Structure 1
Amino acid sequence: MVTFNAIPEDWGFQPIGDYVEKMVGGAPLKPSDFSTSGVRVIPKKAVQFGGKIHFDIKTFCTSEFAESNKRNVVDNQFLITTLRDLVPSGPTIGVIGVLSEKGSFILAQGVYGLKTKNVDDGYLAQVSNTSWYRGEMRKVFVGSTQVHIRNQEFLDVKIPFPEQQKIAAILTSVDEVIEKTQAQIDKLKDLKTAMMQELLLPSEKSGVGTKQSAAALSNSERYIPHTEFKDSPVGRIPKSWGVVPLESLVKADKKITYGIVQAGPHCEGGVPYIRVSDMSSRHLTKKGMLLTSSDIAKKYERSAVCAGDIVYALRGMIGHVHIVPSELEGANLTQGTARISPSEAINTNYLLWAMRSPYVTLQNELEAKGSTFKEVTLASLRKMQIAVPSDSEQQFISATLSSIELKIFAVEDKLEQSKLLKKALMQDLLTGKVRVKLD
């Protein structure tokens, strides 16, 4: 959180309006004014945190509407902000973004363009992303369900104006790293999705196969695509693959079972129990888990898990699945989760990926019971159809997908580090705790 309780003596607070040469408001667009082409519209949702204007989708209005509303047209000489929000808390109201795209744009109602003078636009955008600035906006917005800020009251808000260009350049450079890192994550996730489709359910159309022997796993030149396919309960699959119910892939002495422990008070030093909410993390880990007493754990030991078991979410986050690590040996399952103990007939890591596959997701959607609260029954889970390739293919598929996932995790960690750096820099630079030298 950036605070301005104490700033250098040579800094001063000035009204935003002192640095705004021109302020342009939004146009009263009606549904009939929108079109599939024409002049781009900047909607309220395009103004988000981060210092830039983000377009999730391209929205247009007719050229005729834009021609008759020229006073609401802006270009990249303007900063963009929104002074109206449909959310009572006004999470992005007053946030300022830099419009980097070239061309003419028409503003939607509640969106404003600011042509500035004697101020670095990047600095103004960065200040507007601080929690301190958010507090200043909350002081002046009015309304209950639909909040807004009056133009003059926005322009009267005072913010500090230090060595702007240097500060803006430093923070913007970190923003660029964050943006590029996020783009890298998005590409890796797209690759992961595509590879899951092609490896877990290869088809004639994709032409993707897998290496056919353990020796081939280390030799890319011996990659042999499948050429013969057959129909199956999960779709077209390679002729050499089989499809079996999940219950046939578990250990004979350990049927697929569900959790029966009810989440209760934390018992320090007790036995961890795995909840549906624990399934949202990258991996299952004891850190942060609630613990139950040894007596309760013993009472419900038939729902305890062993290292190497697979835990599956039957409700809430249906389909979230994890392998139990050694640190959770003996942990209990709470209601809404299920235990699967893979037999030697299946590679555990492959089964993990198969249960994340599109064809299993589809089966979940078809089998889920309930209206507002969906749940997959244990009977449906046991009959879940799983495509089973050769041992070497299972190894290759799981190794390939796990490798991509580890890359995603590594880049996500890099992204988090960059965000923490940005937060620290904002606190140091925007408060004058650390001064930057001017050229």
Structure 2
Amino acid sequence: MLKVLSNNYKETSFGDIPIEWDVKKLGDLGKVISGLTYSPDDICEETGTLVLRSSNVQDGQIKFDDNVFVKVNSGGYNQVQYNDILICVRNGSKSLIGKNALITKEATGMAFGAFMTIFRGEYNNYLYQVFNTDIYYREIHKNLGATINSINGSDLKEFKIPIPPLPEQQKIASILSTWDKAIEINKKILSDLEIIKKSMTINVLSGKNRFREFLKNNEISDKKGYKIPNDWEVISLSAVLEQIKNSVKPEKDKLYKQIGIRSHAKGIFYKEAVTGESLGNKSVFAVEPDCFMVNIVFAWEHAIAKTTTAELDMIVSHRFPMYKPLASKLDLDYLLFFFKSKKGKDLLGLASPGGAGRNKTLGQKEFLKLKIPLPSINEQKAIAIFLETYDLEIKLCKQKLEKLQLQKKGLMQQLLTGKIRTT
């Protein structure tokens, strides 16, 4: 049971905290242990000792996606212990200084690099929660070097932390770890959904997996570079798309809202409204709903989207050509899912010659020459609906994850300052 109290508080540098709490330096709560210095010559294959680095700390967890192993004698390094807190104390990116994670049983006995530090003490379950709050990061930013993105062990030991009695620490840590577990479970579910959707996208867009009502036989043919079912076609975009160009002549005193497209297939965004006078002689076009739209400058970076009625009365520049599918031959959502896929992104890159960045512009003639695999219009629609169900599941999972993270953040602010007490 949690209880909110209005009295029995004392003033500190952190604001009012319960009178039973203390403000202590980290150096009084445990010890700071330095990491292993090694050279590139010491790096070896997986037969060596794994050295935990900044890249092994992701979202407050120890991860093993990017590992380095070194040759080091047994006893020649400080081994991490279960429940140590691994802290990044030096990094080229200032924003990464201070990120941390609790050492798991899986990581016990590993080494850690010289740009990392271990904090070891009996209050680590509680301190780990504090190390993910503004209380901790304010101390980090106060002590960052002026020219080097680092904090040293002496500074770390001077960090001041509000500390409740041990029984209350344990209750606080237990409550917050419940949210941590729920967050981690939802992250795993989200990751699994995204992996499954990626695999299913590849399979249904190639005809490897088909819906029973469209399956005539299991024969696959090689058609113009695609291995697809016999009853599918490979068609140039020029045969199934019509470019839409509704030119707009801006009126001097009228307001116009422009749209843009985010890279990485993240959809449309809206810009602030501007006057026709500020547009000057700029070539702009009225947005037509139900079109495939691409940013020709960043097509290679997956800047694609579809327009809807929400964009009516808005405008785009000539860098955002719009294409309307021929309704009897091509489903817009199928087309969008195809170009969201790796194969679609690769094709956009091929149609965007030149160097990196703004010199790598999509050639609109080259775009219309691109060939894509097409099942019947009804099968296209079925594929799009199927993939949309995965998108919805992923969206709902992200919303649940964000809700859990916000709940934990709010609870931390209350519990770790004593605004809410455990009883």
Alignment TM-score, normalising by the size of structure 1 = 0.82
Kindly, what percent of the aligned residue pairs are identical? 24
Give 1:130 deviation, angstroms. 1.3
What is residue 414 of structure 1 aligned with on the other side? Answer: 400
Task: Please give the secondary structure, in 2, of the residue aligned with 1:75.
Answer: coil
Please identify, of 345-354 and 316-325, the stretch whose mean Cα deviation from structure 2 is larger.
316-325
2:260/2:268 contact within 8 Å kept: no
Partner of 1:23, secondary structure, is strand
1:392 positional shift: 2.5
Tell me the SS of whatever aligns to 2:258.
Answer: strand
SS in 1 for 2:396: helix
Aligned match for 1:229, one of 220, 231, 241: 220
The 1:67/1:313 distance shift into structure 2, 3 A limit, reads same
Letter in 1 for 2:185: K
The aligned counterpart of 2:76 is 69
AA in 2 matched with 1:368 = S
Q: How far 1:122 sits from its partner (Å)?
A: 2.1
Aligned residues: 401
Pair 1:419–1:334, CA change in 2 (3 A): farther
Q: 1:261 to 1:311 in 2, by over 3 A?
A: farther
SS in 1 for 2:257: strand
| Structure 2 unaligned regions, length at least 5 | 1-12
After TM superposition, the structure 1 stretch with the greater mean CA deviation from structure 2, 190-199 or 329-338, is 329-338
**1:326 has 2:312 as partner:** no
- Alignment-derived partner of residue 340 in structure 2: 356
RMSD: 3.0
Matched, 1:123 2:126: yes
> 1:176 is matched by which residue type in structure 2?
K
Q: Deviations over 1:309-359 (max 9, x none)?
A: 222222235433322221212321234322011111212221221222333
1:358 partner letter: K
Matched, 1:42 2:52: yes
1:13-412 pair list within 5 angstroms: 13-20=23-30, 22-35=31-44, 36-50=46-60, 52-62=61-71, 65-67=72-74, 69-70=76-77, 72-87=78-93, 89=94, 91-102=95-106, 103-117=108-122, 119=123, 121-144=124-147, 146-162=148-164, 163-202=168-207, 207-213=208-214, 224=215, 226-251=217-242, 255=243, 270-277=255-262, 283-284=267-268, 288-293=270-275, 303-316=285-298, 318=300, 319-344=302-327, 345-373=329-357, 374-412=360-398
Q: Deviations over 1:249-284 (max 9, x none)?
A: 124xxx25599999xx9x9x834321134x668554
2:16 alignment partner, SS class: coil
Query: Measured at CA, do residues 80 and 149 of structure 1 come closer, stay the same or move farther in structure 2, by a change above 3 Å?
Result: same
The answer as to whether partners of 1:261 and 1:335 remain within 8 angstroms in 2 is no
Distance 1:142 1:402, change over 3 A: same
State the 1:362 CA deviation.
Answer: 1.7
Partner Cα distance (2:286, 2:402) in 1: 34
Residues 187 and 401, structure 2, Cα contact 8 Å, conserved in 1: yes
Match of 1:218 in 2: none
Distance 2:177 2:247 in 1: 49
Relative to structure 1, is the Cα distance of residues 284 and 48 closer, same or farther in structure 2, using a 3 angstrom cutoff?
closer
Q: Which protein is richer in strand relative to its size?
A: 2
Alpha-carbon distance in 2 for matches of 1:323, 1:315: 17
Change (3 A) 1:428 1:209: same
The 1-side partners of 2:21 and 2:247 are apart by: 61
* CA-CA distance at 1:106 after TM superposition: 1.0
Query: CA offsets per residue over residues 199-253 of structure 1, 9 Å max, x none?
Result: 1113xxxx5333344xxxxxxxxxx3752222233421211111112122124xx
Distance 1:156 1:298 in 2: 59
Q: Distance in 1 between matches of 2:421 and 2:14?
A: 15
Give me the whole-angstrom Cα distance separating, in 2, the residues matched to 1:195 and 1:18.
Answer: 54
Q: 1:10 is paired with a residue of what secondary structure?
A: coil
- Shift of residue 424 of structure 1? 1.1
Which amino acid is 2:380 matched to?
Q
Contact persistence 1:258–1:378 (CA under 8 A): no
388-397 vs 147-156, which deviates more? 147-156
Q: C-alpha separation between the residues in 2 aligned to 1:307 and 1:342?
A: 12
SS in structure 2 at match of 1:175: helix
Checking the alignment, whether the CA contact within 8 Å between 2:47 and 2:69 is kept in structure 1 is: yes
Equivalent residue for 1:6, pick from 3, 7, 16: 16
